[in-house]
Structure 1
Amino acid sequence: MRGERTTAVFDMDGVLVDSGNLHREAWRRLCQEEGVPLEDPEFWRFTIGRRTEEALPVILGRPLEPEERVRLTTRRIALYHELLQKQTVPVPGVTTFLNDLRIRGVACGLATAALPISVNVTLDALGLADAFAARVTSADVACGKPDPEVYRVAARRLGVPPGDCVAFDDAPVGIKAARAAGMAVVGLATGHTPSELIAAGADMAIRDFLAIGWSEVSKL
């Protein structure tokens, strides 16, 4: 039987910040600007955990040239930042949970599909700029989730094997990435149902951090 895990690695959107509504609205505004109707009300599910540049061709329904992909990615992120600056809502209990990890001496890392600028804006708004000993963003990896690269890089920067880590992610693609990296996984049901997260490979699913403690998840 393995010992308790020593390290925590967090996704950002939907885990630290309850940003789902803001991302959905940013996508809606972008599609409106581009004259693309969003006929599927569940379109946003595909975007969760994926890099904007990867989701764009699917959401817009057409292939994109590299220059257009960059332009639309930049615009989508700008729309999101405009919304984020007006309303930043942390996932309930996450600040207290992270503070408890700090007191316990549990090293924490960030593994997100977001761009560095989005990470900086979000963590500053949440007051969590100093909460993570290592940050890994989309700029640091060649492959997005569900590829395990982002979680493997996070573990390497934290100086621990992936098997010593518990990952917190809200998307099936992120859960699959963390599981493939060799981490235990806690799913945050902020955008998907608990059953969807368990089916993707999460060891457990929670709706927020209000009723969870490190002593419980470190034993996963």
Structure 2
Amino acid sequence: MTVSSANSVDDSIKSSLTKLAPLEAVLFDIDGTLCDSDPFHYQAFRVMLQEIGFNGGVPITEEFFIATAAGKHNDDVALALFPDDIERGLKFLEDKEAMFRKLAAEQVKPLSGLDKVRKWIEDRGLKRAAVTNAPRPNAELLLSVLGLSDFFEAVIIGDECEHAKPHPDPYLKGLEALKASKDHTLVFEDSVSGIKAGVAAGMPVIGLATRNPEHLLMEAKPAFLIKDYEDPKLWAALEELDKAGAH
């Protein structure tokens, strides 16, 4: 079922999370999941790649950005953009991240309904961690701007794990940090690599169709997709989960 489907909430979506009861923890990606930050990444890539004459000086498209960079680890992005000079690629990405932080600090906003889901989590006393492929300075900046620095008990960085997403390692490390069980933990993710990582770590993933094409996200096998945290599908599923946990 896609975000654009009819309003009726499918019974399979309602019941898709009930096996997690009682819910113990929630893991969130950051970029594109807590906030719509991809436009700032895209802008930084577009400007800086054009400055160095990448692609003959023709600006990259959003499709190219999604295919090459969105949700991916910087080592992989460097390899894709600068296959013959990885060192140059990594240096370029460092500079790009600095430009991203400047843009994001001034403009980033939480995804619609994030406060509502935050309150739902706090009211139930659930454990929570942020799990991201972003460099730590980016993650900490975004959490600070969004007012979430104190909300998360742990911030797991792909770079600081043996393998970044799409490998399950960052999510497994998140579970370990929270001392939570994968059988009672839920993941929110917006990228193909992130959804794959959460699924590979053995957890149901709710996919956010913030920017990435729905058909690509569905191929990564999320439990279901939502548009944002106001989506009725999310609240129908959480209500069923609450009911299951009360028995």
TM-score above 0.5, yes or no:
yes
Which residue in the other structure is 2:40 paired with?
A: 22
Q: In 2, Cα distance between the equivalents of 1:49 and 1:133?
A: 22
Q: In 2, Cα distance between the equivalents of 1:143 and 1:216?
A: 34
Give the direction of change, closer, same or farther, for the CA distance of 1:73–1:162 in structure 2 (3 Å limit): same
1:209 aligns with 2:229: yes
Kindly state the Cα deviation for residue 39 of structure 1 after the two structures are TM-superposed.
5.2
Which residue in the other structure is 2:51 paired with?
A: 33
Q: In 2, Cα distance between the equivalents of 1:172 and 1:15?
A: 12
Give the direction of change, closer, same or farther, for the CA distance of 1:82–1:64 in structure 2 (3 Å limit): same
Which residue in the other structure is 1:48 paired with?
A: 70
Tell whether the 8 Å contact from 1:169 to 1:185 is kept in structure 2 after alignment.
Answer: yes
Residues matched between the structures, number: 217
Q: The residue matched to 1:143 in structure 2 has which SS? A: coil
Kindly state the Cα deviation for residue 61 of structure 1 after the two structures are TM-superposed.
4.9
Partner AA of 1:190 in structure 2: T
Give the direction of change, closer, same or farther, for the CA distance of 1:72–1:180 in structure 2 (3 Å limit): same
Partner AA of 2:79 in structure 1: P
- Higher relative CO (Cα under 8 Å, sequence separation at least 6) belongs to 2
1:89 aligns with 2:109: yes
Partner AA of 2:217 in structure 1: L
Q: 2:83 aligns with which of 62, 68, 77?
A: 62
Q: In 1, Cα distance between the equivalents of 2:180 and 2:106?
A: 37
Q: In 1, Cα distance between the equivalents of 2:82 and 2:136?
A: 27
Q: 1:177 aligns with which of 197, 205, 209?
A: 197
Give the direction of change, closer, same or farther, for the CA distance of 1:65–1:197 in structure 2 (3 Å limit): closer
- Give 1 or 2 for the bigger CA radius of gyration: 2
Kindly state the Cα deviation for residue 111 of structure 1 after the two structures are TM-superposed.
0.6
Q: When the two structures are superposed, what TM-score results if normalisation uses the length of structure 1?
A: 0.91
Which residue in the other structure is 2:13 paired with?
A: none
RMSD of Structure 2 on Structure 1 (CA): 1.9
Q: The residue matched to 1:15 in structure 2 has which SS? A: coil
Q: In 2, Cα distance between the equivalents of 1:193 and 1:65?
A: 29
Q: 2:188 aligns with which of 148, 161, 168?
A: 168
Tell whether the 8 Å contact from 1:189 to 1:207 is kept in structure 2 after alignment.
Answer: yes
Question: What percentage of aligned pairs have identical amino acids?
Answer: 27
- Unaligned regions of 5+ residues in structure 2, if any? 1-17
Q: In 2, Cα distance between the equivalents of 1:101 and 1:207?
A: 19
Map 1:52-201 onto structure 2 (within 5 A). Answer: 52-58=74-80, 60-66=81-87, 68-201=88-221
Tell whether the 8 Å contact from 2:71 to 2:191 is kept in structure 1 after alignment.
Answer: yes
Q: In 2, Cα distance between the equivalents of 1:55 and 1:168?
A: 23
Give the direction of change, closer, same or farther, for the CA distance of 1:189–1:143 in structure 2 (3 Å limit): same
Q: In 2, Cα distance between the equivalents of 1:114 and 1:158?
A: 20
Partner AA of 2:25 in structure 1: T
Q: In 2, Cα distance between the equivalents of 1:3 and 1:159?
A: 16
- Unaligned regions of 5+ residues in structure 1, if any? none
